[in-house]
Structure 1
């Protein structure tokens, strides 16, 4: 049975426009998926996924296509614009990257990252969100947490949180007490590193918003959070810059053991 591709509208985003152009030029030159794959060094299925918008191409692949097709720097420039433009599908794409991740580094100064939240803590923030269907939103977040931890020690987790997160009694004292107890349990897992940035560290580079570095098998991507949204970052240069930012935030954090003691101190406040 032939493979039926998902419909692709080039007006949805620059990523869709790039995928549309990949297919248009390949067919214009009379090349098969296999032949195109040979040019950029990937399998036929990978080319098909790129043209369907299910997989995102990389710089070296676009350079090879431009050379083979005689298109100057067309595909390289399209890739640059796709990375820089707003992507309405960024949420779905970052979920896909998290599913494929081998490591995730995250910093948050306002809330405990989702994967380390108890369900009651998650619900406290879902109730304050702008989503209309709160139950559906909660179900998605719970499912995301379960999928994350189902990977076990195949997924390495490095998390930095600001001390202010521990001070904010989200959901009330009982919810926060259970949340901090949960953090201590998670912090003892061998594939989890949890560190707290204490108030005594003073100013640091994380005040602008949350940061996430997603390590894939062949590269890293990143997410920079901000109020009312954020941006998925795939440009290697920008990802490196954000990785450096994460490391510089981490310099201000307490050690893993000292971080446990900070969490325990706040836990006593909620008993």
Structure 2
């Protein structure tokens, strides 16, 4: 998928790539590589590449150091402070939403929560409120999350496979009613055509995927992945990166119970939340 809109984030990334390409490594005298720049800013090469792709925005200290290296007299720090700060929405989210809307298959995994596409408004509100991130308008964020569930409409002919850790069925998010209604909705969605909900039982112990949730999307023969952390999200498009996520997914499928057994686990958990 092509997205040619130049956002503040991509503009900053382009400037960092351009400046590095015009610079030489002080030790070797050759054209500076991402690895060379990483050493100068005391960061990893993978992080520098993320800056240059726009998947990550350098922190103020990093931008200040980049200005010193490239002798740009505070320009990069000013771009990061003014342009990126005022960007209407993170580019990675815009990009992922576009991928999500056009996908014919979504594979989602969450070790701690019910996946966003399967959440009730009340459950989503509790998750967003307790996320630790600054949210200016919780109601609007909840509305956007629920609106995204339109991709599950039968008219979209989407195949969704959701793998959830059993612990998420018992973790109290919101009040008793919120959890009860959430598991009821989960059971209802599991019965929909094209949807498969599977649960990894707690007796499995440690398994691949516990480090964090992700989504894999397939669109027009291409695979994309989305991973989230406390700071932001990443849309992965490079085949090697996506392949790693897909390998983790296959390991997860081996640990998850089949559909019918998973439904039984969800119904068992529902008993705990009945009022």
**TM-score normalized by the length of structure 2:** 0.68
Inter-partner Cα distance in structure 2 for 1:136 and 1:108: 23
Tell whether 2:147 aligns with 1:143: yes
Instruction: Please show how residues 92-241 of structure 1 align to structure 2 within 5 Å.
Output: 92-129=94-131, 130-145=134-149, 147-150=150-153, 152=155, 154-241=157-244
User: What whole-Å deviation, never above 9, does each CA across 1:166-187 have from its counterpart, x for those lacking one?
Assistant: 0112111111111111111111
Contact 2:198/2:258 (<8 A) preserved: yes
Instruction: Please show how residues 2-17 of structure 1 align to structure 2 within 5 Å.
Output: 12-14=11-13
How far has the Cα of 1:85 moved from its partner? 4.7
Secondary structure in 2 matching 1:200: helix
* Structure 2, unpaired ranges of 5+: 18-48, 58-89
User: What whole-Å deviation, never above 9, does each CA across 1:142-182 have from its counterpart, x for those lacking one?
Assistant: 2222x222354511001000011001121111111111111
* Structure 1, unpaired ranges of 5+: 19-78
Inter-partner Cα distance in structure 1 for 2:170 and 2:50: 41
Inter-partner Cα distance in structure 2 for 1:204 and 1:152: 35
Secondary structure in 2 matching 1:245: helix
How far has the Cα of 1:14 moved from its partner? 3.8
How far has the Cα of 1:84 moved from its partner? 8.0
User: What whole-Å deviation, never above 9, does each CA across 1:52-93 have from its counterpart, x for those lacking one?
Assistant: xxxxxxxxxxxxxxxxxxxxxxxxxxx998658527511110
How far has the Cα of 1:94 moved from its partner? 0.3
How far has the Cα of 1:227 moved from its partner? 2.8
Inter-partner Cα distance in structure 2 for 1:173 and 1:128: 16
How far has the Cα of 1:243 moved from its partner? 0.6
How far has the Cα of 1:189 moved from its partner? 1.3
How far has the Cα of 1:11 moved from its partner? 5.8
Aligned position for 1:37: none
When residues 179 and 15 of structure 1 are mapped into structure 2, their CA distance, relative to the original with a 3 A threshold, is: farther
Inter-partner Cα distance in structure 2 for 1:110 and 1:237: 26
Tell whether 2:61 aligns with 1:86: no
**TM-score normalized by the length of structure 1:** 0.69
Between the two proteins, the alignment pairs up a number of residues equal to: 206
Structure 1 stretch 81-90 or stretch 210-219: which is displaced more?
Answer: 81-90
When residues 113 and 152 of structure 1 are mapped into structure 2, their CA distance, relative to the original with a 3 A threshold, is: farther
How far has the Cα of 1:248 moved from its partner? 0.5
Aligned position for 2:271: 268
How far has the Cα of 1:260 moved from its partner? 0.6
Contact 1:10/1:17 (<8 A) preserved: no
